Each structure stands twice: as structure tokens, then as C-alpha cells.
Amino acid sequence: MKLSSIHVKSLAINASNISTTTINGQEHYVIRGAVPIVDDIVMNGGLYPAEEINNSYQTMEGKLMPLPHPMVDGKYVSANDPRAINAYHVGAWAQNVSKSGDQVVMDVYINKAVAETKPDGKRLINRLDEMIAGTNTDPIHLSTGLLTNKEKKSGESKEKKYTWIARNMQFDHIAILLDEPGAGTPEEGVGMFVNADGQEGEVETANLIDAANSLKDGLVNKVKFFLTHNSDASFDEIYQMLREAIRAPSGSDAYRYVVTVWPDKFIYEEGSKLFQQKYLIDDNAVTLVGEPIEVVRKPTEYEVKTNGEQNPMKQKMIAALNAAGVTTEGLTDDQVWDAYNQQMQKKAGGGDPAGAQVNTDAITAAVNAALTPLTDKISHLETQLQANAEKDTAEKRQAVKAKFPFMTEAAINSLAPEALNDMFSQCQTSTGLNPAFQGNGAQSEILTMEAPE
């Protein structure tokens, strides 16, 4: 199985995510919430499975972030190549790499003093200052450089077909693409990569944003798109409009990420939850329609979550009761159920309220008896989940205690969940560069490189 190189482009830096801090007496820019890759995404016909990403994403911790992908003598090279460091390093690196739902999330740190030693670094600092000031709001792209084996296998994920699966992913760097436009990202085409011993291979590009495009997948969506969209906006422009439409209010810690876009609705992720939102586009402006509905992911599609207020059966009962002139406002689930049963019994029994009540009691008793095993199982699962959560918290506290010995046990135990998670993320150590980028002849014989969009 050949080793291939991919550059995965993502839209990751916006003004609302940027702040500054001081480290070792030097000013640093911090960009929160960059998303370099997503579980089970299909790009350029290849599937990037969650299990493979889970096995490798932590190797991004501490990786260099050159501007842009480093090249020497017209060939792509590892960001750790000394010549690449001299020419492309702008004082930027990845930190606090973690998983949030199906996304890999990280922070970008940039040493201002180091960046200003290079012309491109100065341009980056000026661009960040403009974004903070609001004089230039065009987003900046990132591009994750990785090596992977391609396993030939066909299937479908997130309604996208694939012909190969990425295995044994090895992350080398995350490049900053300062000059990429905010919409209509151009193809980089095919370039060449060369490793430390001079072995060459092709570089392929893939685009994380394009992977969300389901506007015209299949005949039905093609027809829907041309019938419902009064707009000539490109997919990138539609994606940006939707992203801005669901942006969390200023000051909020919530991060919302657009996962999949169809002609009349899209899926976005917030924390560990997924939501479906309908929308319309008219004259290049997007309008959200109705309230978002929580959904759960199935192997190749999304279905509306049926617990809570969005229970479709409850909505059907309420509609039937309202049609019969019964007021349902303020009723609980049980009261809606009882009212619906009484209404059905009245229809069947000629309006005998006494008989209806007897039948309702019998039905309610039978339903409660049938639900008892399910209720017991849910209770058992809740107990198990609570135990797992307590175990996870205890392990995080132990790791924090080992990493920060100056903290007392009482102080660690008093940390809020968010603070504990933040300190625990600092306990993870970075992993050295994979030998595939070094002068190892045995591995070099199977090297092929590609670059993502």
C-alpha cells in the first residue's frame, strides 16, 4: 500500500476567534477553534474514518504552521526541513488539539516578534490586526499536510461515495494560506513532494468545505436546487452565508460548524449535538426558515431526533386534537396522550364519555406496563453513563495533578468541568515527526504525495 501525501484545506480563521496573550514576555496572537479535519468526511473520493483520525489527531499537537506549504527547489518538503524552517516558519504552531463531536479542534499560536522577522510574517500580523479592527473580514484558510495509505474500498459516508479509505494517517504540519480568497477557493492541482533522501512523489489537494456540498448530489437535489434557489451564488458563497447566519452571539463560547448543505436545508454541529435548519436564498441573501431541529446521524443520512419537544407523534396528536376543537396549549405529554385517547374513544363509541374513560385507563395501564422494561433499561444506562463520567473526571484530575504538582488536591477537585478539560488538554504531549519524512530508505520506496484543496 503506497504512502500518499494530502493537503486538506479548511476555512478556520475569522475575526471573532482572534485574541492576544503574553507568553514568556512576548506578545502572541491566539486563534481559537480551528477545524483541520472532520470524522468520516469524504474528499476527492477518499474516506477519512473516525477511528483513523482518533488514532492520529493528537500528533498535530505542537506541529509547526508554516506560511504557506514549504517548498525547496520547486518541491514540497516537510515543515521540519531546516531550509523550510528558515524560509517559511512565521512563529506559528498548533496547540490544545482535541476532539469536539466529530471535529478535530485546535488553537493557533503566533509569536508576533518571530513573525515580524519575515515579509510574509509581517503580512500575516497586519492581516490579523485588520481582522481584529474589522477593516478586513475575509477569512484565512488553513491546509493540513498529512501522509496516509490509501486502501482501495468503495462505500458511502455522509451521502458521499468514496473509492478508497485513508489509513495510518501521519500529520506533518498545518500551513497558513494567507492569499486564498474567502469564496471560490481555486484548485492547487497536482504538485511534487520530496522527502529527506530526495525521493519524489505527487501531492494531492482536497477541500474540507467542498466535502459538505450536497446541493446537486443526485437527480432530486439537482432539480430542487434549480427550482428553489433564486441566486447565482457559488457553493462557497452559500456555505459562508449559512456559516454567518448561525454564528453564535458575540461573547459566547459556542462554536457552530456547517456539516452538510442540501438545496433546502443544512446540518450544523454545536458541541456534541447536530441540528437541521431549513433556509431560503433570494438575491444572494440567505434566510433561515423556522427553528433548528436536533437530529442524529445514521450511517448515510440524518433523521429527526424523536425525544423531547420535536416528537413527531406528539405533533400529530396535537394536530388531530386541534382539528377536533380540543385546546392543547400547556398540556404535558401524558395529558396530550390521554386527551388523544379520549377523542379516539369518543369517535369509536358514539361519544360515551364513561366508556371512553374506562378504555383510556385500560390503554394507559397497558402502555405503562409495556414501557416499564424500557424505563428500567434507560435508568441502568443513565447510571452507567454517570459512572463512566465520574471515572473520566477522576482520570483527568490525576493527570492534572501529575502535570501541575504545585496545585493542591482540593484546588484540582474544585475545578469546573470546562477549566478541568482546559488544563487536561495541556497534559497531552506532542509526538515526534514520523520517520516517513526523514531519510529512511525503506520507507522512502513507497512514498507518493498528494495535496488537498
- Is residue 123 situated within a structural domain? yes
The cell numbers describing 39, all together, are 470524522
In the chain, what are the helix, strand and coil shares in percent, each to the nearest 5? 35, 35, 30
The pLDDT score that the predictor gives to residue 110 is: 95
Q: Which residues contact 253 (CB under 8 A, 6 or more apart)?
A: 418
The pLDDT score that the predictor gives to residue 397 is: 86
- Is residue 388 situated within a structural domain? no
- Is residue 22 situated within a structural domain? yes
The pLDDT score that the predictor gives to residue 428 is: 62
Q: What is the DSSP string of 283-296?
A: TTEEEEEEEEEEEE
Per-residue pLDDT of the chain (453 residues; tens, 9 = 90+): 555 666 665 655 566 678 899 999 999 999 888 888 888 888 778 888 999 999 999 999 999 999 988 888 888 888 888 999 999 999 999 999 998 888 888 899 999 999 999 999 999 999 899 888 878 767 677 888 888 888 888 888 877 788 889 898 888 888 888 875 422 233 333 333 334 444 444 555 555 555 555 555 554 444 445 445 556 677 667 777 888 888 877 667 677 878 888 777 888 888 778 888 888 876 667 888 888 888 776 544 444 554 444 555 667 678 778 888 888 777 776 677 777 777 776 665 555 444 444 455 655 666 666 667 767 777 777 788 888 888 888 888 888 888 877 778 877 887 777 778 777 877 765 444 444 444 443 333 333 344 444
DSSP β-bridge partners for residue 29: 20, 110
The pLDDT score that the predictor gives to residue 203 is: 55
84 and 117 in one domain?
Answer: yes
- DSSP letter (8 states) at residue 247: P
Distances (CA, A) of 196 to 6, 148, 205, 445: 18, 17, 21, 12
268 and 161 in one domain?
Answer: no
The pLDDT score that the predictor gives to residue 407 is: 77
Residue finishing a domain among 309, 334, 360: 309
The pLDDT score that the predictor gives to residue 261 is: 81
- The answer to whether the CB of 339 falls within 8 A of the CB of 331 is yes
The pLDDT score that the predictor gives to residue 196 is: 41
126 and 13 in one domain?
Answer: yes
* Structural domain for 262, as ranges: 218-309
186 and 119 in one domain?
Answer: yes
77 and 143 in one domain?
Answer: yes
Tell me the Ramachandran region of residue 331: left when phi exceeds 0, alpha when psi lies from -120 to 50, beta otherwise: beta
Q: What is the CA angle 445-449-453, rounded to 5?
A: 170
Residue finishing a domain among 258, 284, 309: 309
**Helices and strands per DSSP (H, E), number in the chain:** 12, 18
Pairing of strands 140-157, 46-48: unpaired
- Give residue 193's Cα distance to chain centre: 28
8 and 45 in one domain?
Answer: yes
Residue finishing a domain among 309, 334, 363: 309
Domain count, the chain: 2
Indicate the pTM of the whole model.
Answer: 0.47
Q: What is the CA angle 109-243-310, rounded to 5?
A: 120
- The answer to whether the CB of 452 falls within 8 A of the CB of 43 is yes
Residue in the block written with cell 530508505: 441
Distance CA 255, CA 318 (A): 34
The cell numbers describing 409, all together, are 488536591
